[in-house]
C-alpha cells in the first residue's frame, strides 16, 4: 500500500508539474529581461484575466472590476517606501489627486511633476504599491512636489471623462495661486505618465500647450511606453510582439474598446485593421501621421509590412468617432499642435506592442521642432517600470526608473 501511495503521489506531482509548466511556459525572445520571472508573472495575470472573464460571463461582476480587485490586493502587499514624504489626498477642481511633498521647506521654490497612471484607462491603484513607490521616489530624488491623478476609470466612465479629469487637474495645479501654495517654481513643472497614463499625459500636454487661458505651461513631458493610436494594430511592433507579455495585442484592443465605450465584439476587426482598410476615405487624410514605414528607423521595421485590407467595415469609424479624436489618439495631432508641445522624454521597450507608437510620436515631435529623447530598452517589455520595486522587480524596471528620474533631474 505504501508503494502504491508513493506511486500515486509521484504521478500526481508529475501531472501537476506538467500542468504548471504548460500554463506558465511561453516562448519568449532571448533578449527580454529575466524571461522565467516574466513567465510566472504573466501566468498569474492571465489567470486573473480568465477569472474576470468567467465572473463576467456568469453575471457576477464586470471583468475589469475583478482584475482591478486583484491588482489592488497585490499592490497592498508592497511596503511603503520613502516614508518621510508627506502625502495629502485632496480634490483639484473636483478631481481626486494625491500630493506628495518632501519634508522641510527653506523658502526656495521646488520643481513639480504631475503623474498620470496607466492600466488601460480601466485598472490601476495610483495610491498603492508600485505607483505610490514611484511617486515617493520622484519626490525624494528630485526634491519635488508630485501630484498623482486618481481619475475615474472604465467601465464606470468612458472617454472623454478620463481625459477631461486629467485636464481639469492639470489646469487647477498650474494656476499661479495653487503653485504658490505648494511653493512650486512655475517654470519647472513636468507632466508624466505610463502606458494609458502616457496617452493621457501626451493629450494633456497638447491641450495645455494650445490653451490660451493657461499662462503656466509644462516645461517637460515624460511618456513611458505610451499608447497613442488605435488605427493600426499591425505596426511592426504589434506584429513582432503580439504574443509577448504582459500586454498582448488582443488585450490592448480590448482596453481601447472599453475606454471608448464600444462593442467588445469588435476586437478581432480591430486586430486585423478592418476599421482602417484601404476603402476608408476618412483614412486618406490622416494615414501619413502613422506611416510607420517612413517614421520608424529601418532597424525596427525589419521584414514587417503594413497590413491594411482592401475592404473593411466603414461602420466602425462611424460608430466609434473617438478613434479619430486626437484627445484619445495624440499621435494624430496636427503639426501646429505638436509644435506647441513641451520637450519630451519617450521611453520605449523592444518587446512591447506599443514600441512603435512611442517611436512614431518621437519622430513626429522632432519633425515639428520639439526636442525629444527616445530612451529605448532592448530588453524592455510593457509595464517594466511598475516592476522596479520590491517584491516583484526586474533589472530593466530598476534601470528604467533610475534613468528617467535622472533625465528629469537634469532637465526639469
382 is an active site residue: yes
> CA torsion, points 203, 204, 205, 207, in degrees to nearest 10?
90
Grid cell for residue 134: 514611484
**Within a 10 A sphere around the Cβ of 392, how many other Cβ atoms?**
18
Q: Please report which helix (H) or strand (E) contains residue 61, including its range.
A: none
Residue 75 has φ and ψ, to the nearest 5°, of -65, -30
CA 358/CA 322 separation, integer angstroms: 20
Grid cell for residue 379: 530588453
Distances from the Cα of 209 to the Cα of 304, 342, 351, angstroms: 35, 7, 32
Place of cell 530624488: 141
* String of DSSP letters for 179-229: HHHTTEEEEEEEEEEETHHHHHHHHHHHHHHH-TT--S--SEEEEES----
Given the residues 232, 352, 357, 379, the one annotated as active site:
352
Spatial CB neighbours of 184, under 8 Å, sequence gap ≥ 6: 109, 110, 111, 112, 145
Given the residues 130, 133, 195, 269, the one annotated as active site:
195
Among positive and negative, which fits the CA dihedral 362, 202, 253, 66?
positive
- Residue pair 115/149 in contact (Cβ under 8 Å)? The answer is yes
Residues labelled as active-site residues: 195, 352, 382
Amino acid at each position: 500500500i505504501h508503494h502504491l501511495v508513493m506511486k500515486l503521489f509521484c504521478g500526481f506531482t508529475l501531472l501537476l508539474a506538467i500542468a504548471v509548466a504548460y500554463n506558465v511556459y511561453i516562448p519568449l525572445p532571448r533578449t527580454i529581461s529575466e524571461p522565467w520571472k516574466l513567465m510566472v508573472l504573466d501566468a498569474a495575470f492571465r489567470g486573473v484575466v480568465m477569472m474576470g472573464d468567467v465572473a463576467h460571463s456568469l453575471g457576477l461582476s464586470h471583468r475589469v472590476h475583478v482584475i482591478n480587485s486583484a491588482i489592488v490586493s497585490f499592490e497592498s502587499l508592497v511596503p511603503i517606501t520613502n516614508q518621510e514624504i508627506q502625502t495629502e489626498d485632496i480634490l483639484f477642481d473636483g478631481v481626486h489627486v494625491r500630493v506628495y511633498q518632501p519634508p522641510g521647506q527653506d523658502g526656495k521654490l521646488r520643481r513639480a511633476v504631475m503623474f498620470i497612471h496607466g492600466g488601460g484607462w480601466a485598472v490601476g491603484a495610483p495610491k498603492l504599491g508600485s505607483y505610490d513607490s514611484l511617486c515617493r521616489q520622484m519626490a525624494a530624488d528630485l526634491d519635488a512636489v508630485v501630484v498623482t491623478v486618481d481619475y475615474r476609470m472604465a467601465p464606470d466612465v468612458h472617454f472623454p471623462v478620463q481625459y477631461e479629469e486629467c485636464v481639469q487637474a492639470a489646469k487647477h495645479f498650474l494656476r499661479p495661486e495653487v503653485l504658490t501654495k505648494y511653493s512650486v517654481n512655475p517654470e519647472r513643472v513636468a507632466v508624466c505618465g505610463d502606458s494609458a497614463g502616457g496617452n493621457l499625459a501626451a493629450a494633456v500636454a497638447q491641450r495645455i500647450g494650445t490653451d490660451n487661458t493657461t499662462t503656466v505651461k509644462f516645461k517637460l513631458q515624460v511618456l513611458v511606453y505610451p499608447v497613442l493610436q488605435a488605427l493600426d494594430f499591425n505596426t511592426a511592433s504589434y506584429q513582432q510582439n503580439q504574443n509577448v507579455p504582459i500586454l498582448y495585442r488582443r488585450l490592448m484592443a480590448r482596453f481601447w474598446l472599453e475606454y471608448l465605450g464600444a462593442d467588445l465584439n469588435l476586437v478581432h476587426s480591430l486586430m486585423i485593421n478592418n476599421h482602417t482598410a484601404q476603402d476608408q476615405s476618412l483614412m486618406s487624410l490622416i494615414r501619413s501621421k502613422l506611416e510607420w514605414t517612413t517614421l520608424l528607423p529601418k532597424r525596427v521595421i525589419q521584414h514587417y509590412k503594413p497590413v491594411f485590407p482592401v475592404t473593411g467595415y466603414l461602420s466602425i469609424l462611424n460608430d466609434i468617432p473617438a478613434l479619430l479624436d486626437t484627445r484619445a489618439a495624440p499621435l494624430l495631432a496636427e503639426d501646429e499642435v505638436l509644435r506647441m508641445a513641451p520637450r519630451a522624454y519617450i521611453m520605449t521597450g523592444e518587446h512591447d506592442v506599443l514600441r512603435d507608437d512611442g517611436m512614431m510620436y518621437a519622430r513626429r515631435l522632432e519633425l515639428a521642432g520639439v526636442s525629444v529623447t527616445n530612451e529605448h530598452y532592448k530588453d524592455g517589455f510593457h509595464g517594466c517600470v511598475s516592476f522596479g520595486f520590491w517584491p516583484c522587480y526586474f533589472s530593466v524596471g530598476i534601470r528604467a526608473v533610475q534613468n528617467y528620474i535622472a533625465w528629469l533631474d537634469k532637465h526639469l
